[in-house]
Amino acid sequence: MALLISVAPAEAGWSVQSDILGEAEVHPSGARAESAARALAARTAESGLSAEVRIFLRDGALAGRFLHPAAFEPRGWRADVRLYSAASWVSTASRSSGR
């Protein structure tokens, strides 16, 4: 089950709400609230839990939703493997060419 994160209008701007937050975060604009919600969803997905961001308009209608599937390997793992593989290849190529 995905963690639900919602962005909706609030009295003093736009709120980001989720069970993972102690209380709602309030942002001065919808764009900032959406950015904060998507960043939270990305961090949640990187930790291994899927997240869904739902954006609501001032009239309560659903404006959009973004799914962030859970990561299957720790963040940076593939990059480390590529760096290691590239370094090994360069090292092997240098040895075989006599450099």
Residues 62 and 80 in one domain: no
Domain that holds residue 85: 74-99
**Could you give the 3-state DSSP secondary structure of residue 41?**
helix
CA 5 to chain centre: 12
According to DSSP, the residues that pair with 8 across neighbouring strands are 15
For residue range 2-43, what is the model confidence (pLDDT) as tens digits? 999 999 999 999 999 999 998 999 999 999 999 999 999 999
Residues 56 and 41 in one domain: yes
Q: Cβ atoms within 10 A of the Cβ of 22, count?
A: 7
Q: How many domains does the chain have?
A: 2
Sorted by sequence, the CB contacts under 8 Å of residue 67 that are 6+ apart come out as: 2, 50, 51, 52
Q: Cβ atoms within 10 A of the Cβ of 15, count?
A: 20
Residues 15 and 40 in one domain: yes
Residues 54 and 81 in one domain: no
For residue range 43-93, what is the model confidence (pLDDT) as tens digits? 999 999 999 999 999 999 999 999 999 987 555 544 443 333 333 333 333
